[in-house]
């Protein structure tokens, strides 16, 4: 597959027609390539001394976060601001949300106030689908993580970050390590990486592997060393510390011992070129050791964060400009 | 008042009758069932054709009328009208109301409302344990004497095996079944759909088959040990079907029901996060659905029950994890079964009426499920070839949460008689009545 750089100069036909970005599973390869191309263009803005273009001037983006997330919210907020959109942050403390009943009302209220796009993070899988059902094209919706369903912008930024390092993921062995059962990041990555031809493997204790995994485009393991053999990329996932209480793992220390991404383990099983990723925030010393997380040769974790802003700029741009003469990259900046 | 239903195809499983036959209703009872009853004997004659089935009124062992306490969802009046519109003449209501039907005072209220508001025969069940919290048995002897036909903590499982064993022993004295809502709540936990590929794709917590089958296995053993009667509500897994099949072969007093939605849909139906497909037990995988169909065909499963579970739109528009479970079904069950089992030639008409009327009545010893001279005239008239589209807005039920919305169905009840009263008439049946008036 050609790198985003290679295709950037060709003027592509507009392939983007979506008002919503909810599941990466529904995106076609052409659509994802469009997002990556657009993000590449926007990444150059981030490198400028004055990081602002007027592209989305007059548009309003609401960041509606029902779960705490400093980094994803900040990433979306900056993405919108770099494009000159106005932003409002609507954070709802978890304790005050009762049974999800206020969500539709909140959305109605914000739409009545004139917002153009809603970036939503919520603890319940499927809320973006339900909102899209209600609002249709009246509101652009971007899923910033819904329950254990999907986190498509994370999946896209992960793919983008990988393609900054290597020309193609075709045939690369990518190993995702951690709580696959409860990870929306894992789901989005499995869909997107396999769409681009990667050989995706997932590893976890069998109590953290979800049912029906054999029908997804990935290979499941419970032995980390065996899974890491020959890996090109290793992706760690955050382990929610409450998993021990619900009986899914016996202890954090046993988890760290057998499923932690450590320097020794990588040295034993992987190549010198093997890249390490993590969506953050990390539990250092649990799913990943600090020496690996901070290793400038192996780790691209900080780079993922930068890519995140570019990907979110691209998505905001695409969903807010469809119908305005297409999404040709020429009039971006 | 004598009404003659003339020229229909009379289907009566108890006598193995399936033939064109007239039926004469006098006041509240059936006066005659014969070929060619003279029209001179009747005040009203409704001329049917052999395309119309005349059957014992349908019997639904599992409905929620939410009375007392949740009249925004349903009432005895609206629920019984919905039942009549579906061809039902007898239903058993579940006791998970607010308050729970677990004492004589609440039961008296329910009996009173049934007396005043129900247009069909409504039989109450009562809780196995006070408050349905699984600790102390209800006053079963007293409750049965005032009309309770079965005991269940439906909506909840009696998780304490000792309490279940005691309940089976105690209920056996009054010869009523315990209805088992088989759900190990440790295994179902916060699950909101079937565990498996679709739940994993959708990121929704799953409920494994074991949540049901371990309790089915447990209660079969408790029935074996106590000699009690267990009726398994809304079974959903292949393992449950196998366990029940073996228990019946062992001669235990076990009966079981299945819902139309578990026979027709799988967990793939949840892919759009439509909460009308969120059920307890959940819609399962295709192998489970096939096992349920086989169980229904080979007689392992005795009854088709709707598990009519009304909820308001406000509740059903909550997120998937918070929306309440269930679908309404009284007005669609017959149409769904006729479409999928009669039109597809999986079951003969008499076998359908057996599973929707005669056998359910036998499960709970209800005076229903047969056509016989001298019996109350509880009758359904069915047009098995009537094509219609399910539109919940037109339901008699107060609620709209139907997972069958938009389905094109073939077959429908066009009239329902309860104790000789024509409590429901579809426009096509009204037309037949009008024709008669003009002829006179």
Q: What pLDDT, on a 0 to 100 scale, did the predictor assign at position A69?
A: 87
Distance from CA of A185 to the nearest CA of B (A): 11
Determine phi and psi for A95, rounding to 5 degrees: -65, -25
With CB atoms and an 8 Å threshold, state whether A149 touches B318.
no
Min Cα–Cα distance to chain A from B324, Å:
11
Mutation target for B interface from A125, A148, A242: give the one with most B CBs within 10 A: A125
What is the number of domains present in chain A? Answer: 2
Instruction: Say yes or no: A156 and A297 in one domain.
Output: yes
Degrees to nearest 5, angle at CA B234 with B233 and B236: 130
Q: What percent of chain A has pLDDT over 70?
A: 90
B314 chain-A contacts, CB cut-off 8 A: 101
Could you say which of 2.40.340.10, 3.40.1710.10, 3.20.19.10, 2.30.40.10 is the CATH number of the domain covering B2-54+376-387+407-439?
2.30.40.10
What is the 3-class SS of B116-183, one letter each residue?
HHCCCEEEECECCEHHHCCCCECCHHHHHHCCCCCEECCCCCCCCHHHHHHHHHHHHHCCCCEEECCC
pLDDT lower than 50: segments of chain B:
none
- Contacts of residue B425, defined as CB under 8 A and 6 or more positions apart, other chains included, come to B414, B415, B416, B433
Instruction: Please indicate whether, in this complex, the C-beta atoms of A212 and B200 are within 8 angstroms of each other.
Output: yes
Among the residues of A113-249, which ranges form H helices?
A: 127-135, 152-165, 184-195, 224-228
User: pLDDT tens digits, residue range A51-65?
Assistant: 999 999 999 999 999
Instruction: Find the residue in A nearest to B194 (Cα).
Output: A211
Q: Which residues in chain B touch residue A210, judged by CB atoms under 8 angstroms apart?
A: 199-200, 206
Question: What's the confidence (pLDDT) of residue A101?
Answer: 56
Question: Tens place of pLDDT for every residue, chain A, 333 residues?
Answer: 444 444 444 455 679 999 999 999 999 999 999 999 999 999 999 999 999 999 999 999 999 999 888 899 999 999 999 999 999 998 876 545 555 557 888 899 999 999 999 999 999 999 999 999 999 999 999 999 999 999 999 999 999 999 999 999 999 999 999 999 999 999 999 999 999 999 999 999 999 999 999 999 999 999 999 999 999 999 999 998 888 888 999 999 999 999 999 999 999 999 999 999 999 999 999 999 999 999 999 999 999 999 999 999 999 999 999 866 444 444 454
The domains of chain B are located at 2-54+376-387+407-439, 57-363
Characterize the bridge pairing of strands B193-194 and B121-124.
Answer: unpaired
Residues A11 and A146 in one domain: yes
Q: What is the CA radius of gyration of chain A?
A: 20
The DSSP string of B215-278 is: HHHHHHHHHHHH---EEE-S---HHHHHHHHHHHHTT--EEEEE-HHHHH--GGGGGG--GGG-
pLDDT in tens, A259-277: 999 999 999 999 999 999 9
Q: Do A122 and A171 fall into the same domain?
A: no
- In chain B, DSSP finds a helix count (H) and a strand count (E) of 15, 18
pLDDT at A96: 53
Measured from the Cβ of residue A274, the count of other Cβ atoms closer than 10 Å reads 19
Residues of B in contact with A130 (CB under 8 A): 273, 317, 319-320
Same domain, A289 and A186: yes
CB A124 within 8 A of CB B179: no
- ipTM reported for the complex surpasses 0.85: yes
pLDDT given for residue A1 in this prediction: 40
Q: Do A126 and B195 touch (CB under 8 A)?
A: no
Helix spans in A93-195 (H): 102-112, 127-135, 152-165, 184-195
Q: Is A216 a domain residue? A: yes
With 0.90 as the threshold, say if the pTM is over it. Answer: yes
Quick one: pLDDT at residue A241? 84
Measure A102 CA to nearest chain B CA, in Å.
9
Contact in structure between A239 and A281 (CB atoms under 8 Å): no
pLDDT number for residue A6: 41
| Whether residue A158 sits in one domain with residue A118 | no
Domain-embedded: residue A13? yes
Closest CB to A211: pick one of B199, B273, B317. Answer: B199
Residue B135 CA to its chain's centroid (Å):
28
Within 13 A of A83's CA, how many CA atoms are on the CB side?
32
Task: Identify whether the C-beta of residue B28 lies closer than 8 Å to the C-beta of residue B419.
Answer: yes
pLDDT given at position B439: 55
Asked if A147 lies within 8 A of B203 by C-beta distance, the reply is: yes
CA distance B46 to B3: 8
The CATH number of residue A287's host domain is: 3.40.50.1370
**Which domain, by its residues, includes A177?**
152-301
pLDDT value for A322: 86
Q: How far is CA A134 from CA A107, A113, A127, B112, B223, in A?
A: 10, 17, 11, 42, 49
Q: Do A158 and A253 reside in the same domain of the chain?
A: yes
Cis peptide before B68 (omega within 30 of 0): yes
**Alpha-carbon distance values, B251 to A21, A135, A269, B304 (Å):** 57, 57, 60, 21
User: Which among A125, A184, A187 has the least Cβ separation from residue B320?
Assistant: A125
What is the reported pLDDT for A105?
A: 87
Shared-domain flag, residues A132 and A202: no
Chain A contact residues (CB < 8 Å to B): 25, 99-101, 103-104, 122, 124-127, 129-130, 133, 146-150, 181, 184, 187, 210-213, 215-216
Contacts with B202 from chain A: Cβ below 8 Å: 125-126, 149
- Using the Cβ of B313 and the Cβ atoms of chain A, whether some distance falls under 8 Å is answered with no
Q: Report the C-alpha dihedral over residues A239, A244, A248, A249, rounded to 10 degrees.
A: 80
CA distance B155 to chain A (A): 19
Token digits for B232?
Answer: 């398994």
Same domain, A77 and A145: yes
B319: nearest CB among A127, A184, A216: A127
Nearest C-alpha of chain A: how many angstroms from B275?
10
Quote the pLDDT of residue B438: 58
Establish whether the linkage from the previous residue to A281 is cis, with ω within 30° of 0.
yes
Question: By the CB < 8 Å criterion, does B199 face chain A?
Answer: yes
Do residues A142 and A33 both lie within one domain? yes
Judged by DSSP in three states, B312 sits in coil
Whether residues B200 and A127 touch (CB distance < 8 A) is answered with no
- Does any domain span residue A333? no
| Same domain flag for A183 and A142 | no
Catalytic center residues of A? 71-72, 99, 121, 151
Instruction: Indicate if A101 and A206 belong to the same structural domain.
Output: no
- In a domain, residue A332? The reply is no
CB B420 within 8 A of CB B27: yes
- Candidates A24, A152, A212, partner chain B, best to mutate (most B CBs within 10 A): A212
- Considering only the beta carbons, identify the residue of A130, A187, A211 that sits closest to B206: A211
> Looking at residue A244, what is its pLDDT?
87
Catalytic residue among B307, B378, B383, B426: B307
Whether B197 has its CB under 8 Å from any CB of chain A: the answer is yes
Residue listed under structure tokens 């009304």:
B310
Domain membership flag for residue A259: yes
* A29 and A143 assigned to the same domain: yes
Integer Rg of chain B from CA: 21
For the domain with range B57-363, which CATH number is right: 3.40.50.970, 3.20.20.140, 1.20.58.220, 3.40.50.10330?
A: 3.20.20.140
Chain A CB within 8 Å of residue B186 CB: no
pLDDT at residue A142, as a whole number: 98
Choose among B196, B205, B272: nearest Cβ to A212.
B196
In a domain, A314, yes or no: yes
- Chain B: nearest CA to A315, how far in angstroms? 22
Q: Is the dihedral of CA B327, B329, B331, B337 positive or negative?
A: positive
Check residue B194 and report its DSSP letter. Answer: E
User: Between A and B, how many residue pairs show a Cβ–Cβ distance under 8 A?
Assistant: 75
Beta strands at A173-177 and A199-203: parallel, antiparallel or unpaired: parallel
């Amino acid at each position: 597959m050609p790198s985003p750089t290679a295709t950037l100069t060709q003027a592509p036909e507009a392939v983007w027609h979506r008002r919503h970005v909810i599941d990466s599973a529904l995106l076609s390869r052409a659509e994802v390539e469009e997002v990556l191309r657009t993000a590449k263009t926007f990444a150059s803005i981030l490198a400028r001394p004055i990081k602002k273009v007027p592209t989305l001037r007059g548009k309003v983006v609401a960041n509606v976060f029902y779960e705490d997330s400093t980094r994803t919210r900040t990433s979306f907020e900056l993405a919108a601001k770099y494009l000159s959109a106005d932003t409002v942050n609507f954070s709802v403390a978890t304790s005050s949300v009762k049974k999800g009943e206020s969500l539709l009302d909140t959305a109605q209220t914000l739409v009545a106030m004139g917002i153009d796009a809603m970036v939503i993070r919520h603890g319940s899988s499927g809320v973006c689908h339900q909102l899209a059902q209600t609002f249709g094209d009246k509101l652009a919706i971007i899923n910033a993580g819904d329950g254990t369903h999907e986190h498509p912008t994370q999946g896209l930024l992960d793919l983008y970050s990988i393609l900054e390092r290597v020309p193609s993921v075709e045939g690369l062995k990518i190993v995702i390590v951690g709580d696959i059962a409860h990870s929306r990041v894992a789901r989005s990555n499995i869909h997107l990486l396999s769409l681009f031809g990667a050989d995706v493997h997932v590893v976890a204790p069998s109590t953290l592997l979800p049912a029906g995994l054999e029908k997804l485009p990935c290979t499941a393991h419970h032995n980390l060393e065996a899974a890491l053999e020959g890996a090109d990329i290793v992706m760690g996932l955050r382990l929610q510390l409450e998993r021990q209480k619900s009986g899914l793992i016996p202890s954090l220390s046993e988890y760290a011992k057998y499923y932690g991404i450590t320097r020794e383990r990588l040295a034993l099983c992987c190549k010198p070129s093997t890249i390490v990723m993590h969506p953050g925030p990390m539990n250092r010393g649990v799913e990943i050791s600090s020496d690996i997380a901070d290793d400038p040769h192996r780790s691209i974790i900080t780079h993922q964060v930068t890519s995140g802003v570019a990907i979110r700029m691209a998505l905001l741009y695409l969903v807010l400009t469809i119908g305005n003469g297409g999404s040709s990259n020429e009039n971006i900046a | 008042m004598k009404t003659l239903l003339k020229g229909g195809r009379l289907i009566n499983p108890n006598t193995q009758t399936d033939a064109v036959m007239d039926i004469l209703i006098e006041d509240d009872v059936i006066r005659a069932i014969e070929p060619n009853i003279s029209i001179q004997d009747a005040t009203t004659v409704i001329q049917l054709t052999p395309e119309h089935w005349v059957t014992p009124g349908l019997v639904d062992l599992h409905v929620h009328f939410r009375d007392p306490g949740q009249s925004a969802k349903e009432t005895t009046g609206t629920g019984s009208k919905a039942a009549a519109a579906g061809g039902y003449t007898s239903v058993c209501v579940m006791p998970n109301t607010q308050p729970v039907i677990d004492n004589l005072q609440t039961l008296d209220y329910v009996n009173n409302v049934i007396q005043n508001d129900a247009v069909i025969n409504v039989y109450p069940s009562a809780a196995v344990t006070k408050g349905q919290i699984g600790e102390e048995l209800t006053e079963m002897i007293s409750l049965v004497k005032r009309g309770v036909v079965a005991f269940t903590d439906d909506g909840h499982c009696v998780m304490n095996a000792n309490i279940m064993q005691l309940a089976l022993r105690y209920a056996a004295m009054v010869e009523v079944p315990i209805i088992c809502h088989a759900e190990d709540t440790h295994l179902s936990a916060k699950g909101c759909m079937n565990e498996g590929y679709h739940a994993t794709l959708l990121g929704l917590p799953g409920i494994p088959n074991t949540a049901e089958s371990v309790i089915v296995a447990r209660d079969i053993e408790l029935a074996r040990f106590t000699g009690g009667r267990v009726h398994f509500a809304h079974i959903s897994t292949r393992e449950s079907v196998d366990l029940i099949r073996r228990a019946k072969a062992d001669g235990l007093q076990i009966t079981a029901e299945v819902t139309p939605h578990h026979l027709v849909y799988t967990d793939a139906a949840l892919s759009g996060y439509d909460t009308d497909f969120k059920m307890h037990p959940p819609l399962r995988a295709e192998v489970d659905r096939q096992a349920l169909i086989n169980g229904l065909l080979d007689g392992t499963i005795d009854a088709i029950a709707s598990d009519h579970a009304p909820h308001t739109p406000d509740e059903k528009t909550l997120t998937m994890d918070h929306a309440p479970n269930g679908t309404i079904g009284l007005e669609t069950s017959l149409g769904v079964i006729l479409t999928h089992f009669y039109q597809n030639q999986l079951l003969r008409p008499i076998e359908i009426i057996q599973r929707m009327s005669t056998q359910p009545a036998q499960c709970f010893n209800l005076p229903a499920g047969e056509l016989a001279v001298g019996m109350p005239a509880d009758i359904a008239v069915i047009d098995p070839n009537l094509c219609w589209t399910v539109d919940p807005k037109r339901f008699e039920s107060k609620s709209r949460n139907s997972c069958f919305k938009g389905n094109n169905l073939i077959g429908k009840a066009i009239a329902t008689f309860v104790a000789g009263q024509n409590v429901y008439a579809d426009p096509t049946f009204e037309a037949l009545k009008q024709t008669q008036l003009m002829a006179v």
